[in-house]
Structures are given as structure tokens and as C-alpha cells.
Structure 1
Amino acid sequence: MTQPSSPGSQVSATEVRARGPAGPAAVLGTGSAVMLIIGVVVGAGIFKAPSMVAGMTGSVEWMFGAWVLGGVISLIGALCYAELTTTWPHAGGDYHFLRRAYGPTVSFLFAWARFSVIATGSIALLAFVFGDYMQQVLPLGTWGPSLWAAIAVLALWGVNARGILAGTSTQSWLTTLEVGGLVLLVAAALWLLGASTPAAPVAAPPAATPSLGAFGLAMVFVLLTYGGWNEAAYISSEMRTQRDIVRALVWSILLITALYLLVNWAYLRGLGFAGMARSEAVAADLMRAAFGNTGDKLISVLVAVAAITSMNATMIVGARTHYAVGRDWPALRTLALWDGQRGTPVHGMRLQNVTALLLVALGAATGGGFRAMVEFTAPVFWLFFLLTGVALIVLRRREPDRERPFRVPLYPLLPLVFCATCAYMLWSSLSYVYSQSLGGFNAAWIGVAVLALGFVLLAVVRARSAAPAVSPAAL
């Protein structure tokens, strides 16, 4: 069955079946990748974080400066990833870069963290966000949020089981709806400006330059809202040309930055700076001010669409790490099965989505404890993100003669800026986690436990694998 055409679709499903490769095929273009990156990045954060950033920065100028700086830092990181992905295009993405730079131990621990919390946990958390907001639109009883969460996982699993073109086609339409929702926020602000009621004062009271600590904390929330663009690395081997991934990374960051600035302008014009800074639900307050009670329903739909859009994108890229691990370790070779007709890692996708459903069930049983457990693993994510940035420098030194279709400009300055940002985020997330507790235990131990269990699993896998199936140098 031929997949429906959509924004970003580049190759027909018939052509994919005709090629029928045993591994990833180059079937995606720039449009598909841009839609996927925007879908991963633009999530529920933009409906919440702007009010927090406004309160921490204390002025309109510093607030917009923080969002612009977040876009610049994200663009720098994207340029670093552009070099890695064009030089070593691979379905394993970060896993593959870490393996080449540091060997199988570090890369296996990353794959375990990605499976246990980074990707699979994110799918489950996004499913609950979707469920929470859909419950406000179409209640399904006491267990409604959990039921909606499970329905979302199963529905997207069904779509992506049809193949990469079905997944990216769905992603294109979902991302279009998501961006349309952000435009609706701007329309709400314009509606208020045109209303007869007096507009809220835009300017903030005179405020001193925010302290380094306050601005740094604001940047934590800004960068978290920009997070996810690195997921493009997992489809690098499926891009029609390697220049496409460079264009996709750059254009997506520029578009996301423009969207975020536009949405912040909408909040500012609709609520005023003071109203924006003290709001507990800034998007909901704006929609309610413009459309009354209807606005509550609209914002629930917008957040639900944003959550399921990010879910679908994460589902597409997440399973590709499992495929890469299966290729490298004989004991996990079943994960290396790739459906050439559909362009999907069959067992990797199944393992990921079954685990996500189990996590949804765990979340339903434990409530907020599960969500906190996943959120408290942020230091693990930033640790491996930092190591990936350093890997660019390591591989430049180790493989100087390797052909690089794209080289990050101003090397080594930009990679060092990216690494310094990751190190700061690692420190910030560690500071936050160390001050929290879960079930009477310091939350910092959760990340330690994840990595410790990874070492145990690595020992088991090594015992069952005489040697890695494919050496890094051979890929």
C-alpha cells in the first residue's frame, strides 16, 4: 500500500519496497527531517517555561535575550552534530559517535540509559501529558489519563509499524497542527489587542540586570525547551544526501527560535510582562483572556497535540539505537533485524513500545513518583550529551584524514562553547537533583542506579558475546 503524500515526503513506499535493503535506506529529504526535529523540540515546555523565564530575568530585554541565546547555543550544537552526522551517518546516532570515540563500554551505558529513561521514559511521560490534557477534553473516567496514554502509544505504534514513510508522513501533519496551535496563541494576542478592553502594560517595572545565578537558571529552562534537536542524528543514515541533514538541523533551529520569540511576544502583548511573569499557566491564561472558557478547551487540545507530536518523533528515532546495539553485540543480535520494505527496526521498535506501555502501567500505579524518577535522570542525559560534544574533538584528533563533508566553523571555539554549555547544564541538573528526594532517598541516587544497572547488564552481555559483531573502524 502506498503511503499518503504529505509535507516532507520524498520517496514513495513503492520505491522503498523496490530497494528492500537489509538496513537503513536513504529515503528522507530535508522537509521530513525538519518536521521531525521541530516535532521533537516543540513540546509542552513552550506552554509553561516562558512565564518562569520572565520571572527570573526581570525585564523584557533580558527575557528575549535569553530566548535568543538559547537559539544561538542550540545552533552551535546543531553545527557540531552536523559534522558528526555527515562524517559518520549511522542509525545509532550518539551511540555510534560515543562508540568510535570511547569504545563499547561508554556507548553501551548510553544505549542502556536511552532505553531505560531517555527515550522510552520520554515516550511514557509524553503519553501521560497527552492523557492528562485529553482527559480535560474527553473524560474517560477515573483511569482516563492512563487510558489515553496507552491509546496514544498503541496508535502511534500502529502507524510506525507501517514504515518510516508512514511515520514521517504522520509527523509532518502533526507538526503542522502543532505549529498552527502556536500561531493560534499569536492570534489570541492580536485579538486582545483589537478588543475594546484596555491592554495590559507590556513593559516591566525598572529592574536591575539579573544576577548570574538567576539568568543561569532561566537559561536552564530555555535550553530544556529547545532540547531534542540532536535526535536528528538517528536518521542521518536515512537522508538522501548528507547535506540534507545539515540543512535540516540549521533550518529547524532557526524556525524554532522564530516560533519561540513569536510566542513569547504573544504572551507579552496579551498579558503584559507582570501578568506573564506571575502566571502559573501562561498559555492557558492568554487563551482564557481571549476566548473565555472556550480557551481552556483550546489550550488542552494544543498541549495534547504538542505531546503526541513529540511522542511520534521520539518513537521514530528511539528504536534505532536498539538496532545499532544489536549489530554490535552478538548476544543482542535479534535487535538488529531491519525490515527493508518498511524501513523500520522491527524488534527494536517492538521492545521500545512494549517497554513504554509497561512504564505507562507503572506510572498509573505510582502516580507522580514515576514522573519524578524520569525527570531526576536529567544529569545522565547531560553527561552523555557532554561526552558527545567532546567526541567531536577526540575524533578530529584520532581520525584527521577522515573525509568530512561538513566541518563545524570556527573549530575548536564552537565545539568548546557547546561542551561548556553541556557542562553547565550537567552541573545545574546535578545541583537540582541533589536537593530533591523521592521516597525518602536523595534523588541523585536515581541516576547512579541507572548507570550501575547498566554496568551489570554490560557484564552479562559481554559474557554472552565473544566479541562485538562489528568493530567501530569497520563502520
Structure 2
Amino acid sequence: MHKKLKLWDAVMLVMGSMIGSGIFIVSADIMRNLGSGLWLIIVWVITGIMTIAAAISYGELSALFPKAGGQYTYLKEIFGKKMGFLYGWGLFTVIQTGTIAAVAVAFGKYTAYLIPALNDAAPLFQSGEFKITWIQIVAILVIMVLTYINTRGVESGKLLQNVFTGSKILALLGLIAAGFFIVNVSHLSENFSFGWDAFNNMRKDALGNLTNYGWERIGGMTLLGGIAAAMVGSVFSSVAWESVTFVSGEIENPKKNVVKSMIYGTSAVMVLYIAVNVVYLNALDRDTVAFAANDRVAVAASQNIFGSAGTIIIALLVMISTFGCNNGLILAGARVFQTMAKDGMFFRSAAKNNTNEVPGNALWMQGIWASLLCLSGQYGNLLDMISFVIVLFYMITVFGVIYLRIKQPELPRPYRTWLYPLTPVVYLIIGTGFCILLLIYKQQYTWPGFIMVLLGLPVYYLINRKASSAK
């Protein structure tokens, strides 16, 4: 593959793939679970420590295996083809494509803010609860346009990524500055006055809608369960940084630049995320954060900061953010499926590059499946269910650093994990706690995603059976 991506491009890919729509929404759910400004920030800090620790650990593997395919390649090389396939299966069926679908629909929903007719129009098709809306059509158009642009060559995708990621970083910095200097009434001290006390307010009315019935003080195991539930949103808002490893084969000096891009990119994004949440706490009181309409905390904060123009400002910011995020996800994901195809683990035609020297077939396969997920309307549920599995695969990969140090200490390591073994151990401890608490308190986030990945096992054995018969 041609090395067309420099360090700056790789950093933009990391940041652009991470920052989607989550940071503008999930803080409402975190506040409802924990009811304190301090705990809201703690959840984001814990998530930041996890994310950066994982990125630092992945750096060692990216230097050992500087090939396209990234995490798929690491898992395959360390634990064998079966583990690599299960990750790739999960990536194609829901992790990458489901995220692409969800981010595209978020783009469509915020487009409807600016064009209300999209919201008001009758569904194009409806049968029972299944329906196809104009917002879904907008989402599919975005996926198709970005897929087409990326089939025109890596330079096209790179330019789009840099422009949109740069734009949303500047816009977020502007929102952060305005959130501190333009707000008429600061709620910061009020939101932090609860200190270490935590509160829950997740009750629903007779129709199943979340309603503000008042806050209940929580502690002990209930608090731990609340932290785990709250972290589902923050963790999912902080994933996809590993997408840069998928395109290692196209990055200049990948043994150094992949790890640098992951560390620089994840650190910068987590600082931005924490700063944005401080702005929410400064601009809004606790109830407004927790019960913002449709969980759109950023809209409520922006209205408080900029007045009636706030909705338009945030709608534009989210559209820029989700468009750039999806470009990064689309650009990177197809490289994994191409690598799997070369290993005989995916559709054979996905292995080919097109005349623009990019995996055109893999890009279109990814785009078509993501579009079908948009039409299904189930991407949101799928992503909730898969959050547990995403962290599980992160943990297996981070454990791979320790495993290789023990099994193959003689391997030449151009980069060694900072503060080893502390860094991977910290991630594994936090990740294990997160997964165990979800298994105990929020099982709807765990076993469905796990089963979805295990469904890949019969597919794996079928593929290998065919391969054996062909020999």
C-alpha cells in the first residue's frame, strides 16, 4: 500500500472518528444515573484514563504489527485466526457498521432541526412499527456519498477528514470559551455542591417516559451499578480511536506514527470532552442537564449561552461533527474487511483494490450493510448491546501486550508501552470492573451483544470447512 497518510492525518483520523454525536447527548443519562456534577466529571475522567491507557498499550502492538487491519491483525497474530475472525465478524455486523448507521442518523436528525419538513413529513413506508422516514433516507445518502468519496482514493478521504475534524475542533473550542465567558448565570458551584453524594432519578411514568420525580440518594453497590450504567454512554462516545490502526499500511513510518497519533488524539479528545461537560455544568442546573429534551444537553446549553440562535449553532456543529466522524469510520473500517478477505475470512472480492488503489468493494459492502441497519431502526439497540463486547475486545487486545511480553520476550519492540505493566493493568482493572458491574446490574447491555459475536463461530467453522475442502 502507498504511504499517503502523515502523522497529522493520522491524528485527525483518531480525533475525527472519536468525536461524533455522543458528547452532545450522553451526559444527560450520566446525570440521571448519578445526580452530581462531581460524579459526572469523574465518569468522564475514568473513561479518559481507560481510553488513553488502552491507546498507550495498543502502541506496542502497532509497532510490532505495522500492517493494515489493526486490531484484527493483533488478535489474529497473538491469539489465532478464530479470535481475529470473531472480532472482524463483530466489527462488520454491528460495531463499525452500526456506529456508521447511528452517526449518520444523528446527522439526519440534526438536519431536521434546520429543515423541519423532514420531521413533519409522513413516513415513506410504514408497516406496523417498521417505517422508513426521510431522516433515514438522509442518513443513507450521507453514507453513500462518503463511501463514494473514499472510493476515489485515500487522498480524497484524507482531505475531507482533515477539513471536517479541524472544523469541529475549532467549533468545540468556541463553545467551551463561550460557555465560560458568555453565560449570564453560572450553575457550576451549585452542581458541584453535592460533592461525593450521588443521586438517582431514572424512574418512568405510566407511558414509559423518563420523568423528573425527584432525586434519591444512592451509595454502596447501587452507586457502583450507577457508575457502570453511566459509563456505557461515555465509553461509547470515546471509542473508534483504534480506527487509525486499520490503515497502518497507508501511514508513513507506521511503527512510530500510529502510536503517536493514538496517544496525541485520545488525550486531546478526552480533554475536550471534560471541558465540554464543565461547560454544561456551568450553563445549566442539574435538572436541565438530566432532563434536556431528547437528551440534547448541548442544545440546552447552547440556547442558554447564545439565546434563540443556540439551536442552529449546535445543529450545525453536530452535522459537521457527525459528517467528519463517519468519514473516518468509513475510510478505516473497509481496510479491516479487505485484510480479512486476503486471509480467506471475508468475501473474496473485498480483497481487491480498485483503480484508485483503495478497497472499493470492501467500502461498498460496508456502506450497503450500514445503510440496511439505518433502515432497520435497530442500530441504537445494537450499539447499546455491543458496548460490553467492545470493551471486552479492548481488554483481550490489551492483555495481548502482557501475553506477548511473557511468551515472546525476544521480539524486537520499536515502541514499548509506557509504565509497563502498570498501564495495561490499569486498563484491565477498570475494564473488568465495568464489565462485571454491567453483568450484575445492566444485563441488557451484556449478553445480547455477546451472543451476537458468538454467532460468528458457526460462520468461522463453515469458512474453514470450505477452505479445507478446496485444498
Give the TM-score normalised by structure 2: 0.83
Give the AA of the match of 2:20.
G
- The one-character-per-residue Cα deviations of 1:147-186 (angstroms, maximum 9, x if unpaired) are 2111101110121011111111101111122223323422
Residues 151, 359 of structure 2: 8 Å contact kept: no
Q: In structure 2, which of residues 56, 60, 63 is the aligned counterpart of residue 86 of structure 1?
A: 63
Residue aligning to 2:270: 257
Query: Hey, what's the Cα distance between the residues in 2 that align with 1:112 and 1:331?
Result: 9
Instruction: Measure how far apart 1:397 and its partner are.
Output: 2.4
Residue aligning to 1:192: 182
Query: Hey, what's the Cα distance between the residues in 1 that align with 2:34 and 2:18?
Result: 23
Q: In structure 2, which of residues 94, 108, 112 is the aligned counterpart of residue 131 of structure 1?
A: 108
Query: Hey, what's the Cα distance between the residues in 2 that align with 1:129 and 1:468?
Result: 45
Give the AA of the match of 1:254.
S
Residue aligning to 1:292: 307
Query: Hey, what's the Cα distance between the residues in 1 that align with 2:384 and 2:64?
Result: 32
Residues 202, 273 of structure 1: 8 Å contact kept: no
- The one-character-per-residue Cα deviations of 1:61-89 (angstroms, maximum 9, x if unpaired) are 44434433332222111110110001111
> Would you say 1:385 and 2:362 are equivalent positions?
no
Q: In structure 2, which of residues 309, 315, 321 is the aligned counterpart of residue 306 of structure 1?
A: 321
Cα RMSD between the aligned structures?
Answer: 2.6
Query: Aligned in 2, Cα 1:132/1:85: closer, same or farther, shift over 3 Å?
Result: same
Q: In structure 2, which of residues 430, 433, 449 is the aligned counterpart of residue 424 of structure 1?
A: 433
- The one-character-per-residue Cα deviations of 1:423-464 (angstroms, maximum 9, x if unpaired) are 23333444565247xxxxxx8345414422x12221221122
Residues 178, 305 of structure 2: 8 Å contact kept: yes
Could you tell me the percent identity over the aligned residues? 26
Q: In structure 2, which of residues 317, 324, 343 is the aligned counterpart of residue 328 of structure 1?
A: 343
Residue aligning to 1:223: 235
Question: 4+ residue runs of structure 1 moved beyond 6 angstroms?
Answer: none
Residues 182, 305 of structure 2: 8 Å contact kept: yes
Residues 229, 442 of structure 2: 8 Å contact kept: no
Give the TM-score normalised by structure 1: 0.83
Residue aligning to 1:73: 50
- The one-character-per-residue Cα deviations of 1:297-329 (angstroms, maximum 9, x if unpaired) are 222222222222221111011111111111111
Residue aligning to 2:189: 202
Q: Which moved more, 1:45-54 or 1:251-260?
A: 45-54
Residues 135, 144 of structure 1: 8 Å contact kept: no
Give the AA of the match of 1:223.
V
Query: Aligned in 2, Cα 1:257/1:468: closer, same or farther, shift over 3 Å?
Result: farther
Residue aligning to 2:367: 353
Q: In structure 2, which of residues 440, 448, 467 is the aligned counterpart of residue 465 of structure 1?
A: 467
Instruction: Measure how far apart 1:272 and its partner are.
Output: 4.5
Instruction: Measure how far apart 1:337 and its partner are.
Output: 1.1
Query: Aligned in 2, Cα 1:303/1:428: closer, same or farther, shift over 3 Å?
Result: farther
Residue aligning to 2:284: 271
Q: In structure 2, which of residues 249, 257, 261 is the aligned counterpart of residue 248 of structure 1?
A: 261
Residues 185, 283 of structure 1: 8 Å contact kept: no
> Would you say 1:42 and 2:19 are equivalent positions?
yes
Structure 1: segments with no counterpart, 5+ residues? 1-23, 364-368, 437-442, 470-475
Residue aligning to 1:158: 148
Instruction: Measure how far apart 1:346 and its partner are.
Output: 2.2
Instruction: Measure how far apart 1:121 and its partner are.
Output: 1.6
Q: In structure 2, which of residues 449, 454, 457 is the aligned counterpart of residue 455 of structure 1?
A: 457
Residue aligning to 2:419: 410
Query: Hey, what's the Cα distance between the residues in 1 that align with 2:406 and 2:391?
Result: 23
> Would you say 1:104 and 2:84 are equivalent positions?
no
Instruction: Give the aligned length.
Output: 430
Instruction: Measure how far apart 1:117 and its partner are.
Output: 0.5
Structure 2: segments with no counterpart, 5+ residues? 123-132, 199-218
Query: Hey, what's the Cα distance between the residues in 1 that align with 2:406 and 2:470?
Result: 24
- The one-character-per-residue Cα deviations of 1:95-153 (angstroms, maximum 9, x if unpaired) are 11111121111111111111100111211121111111112212343322012111101
Residue aligning to 2:202: none
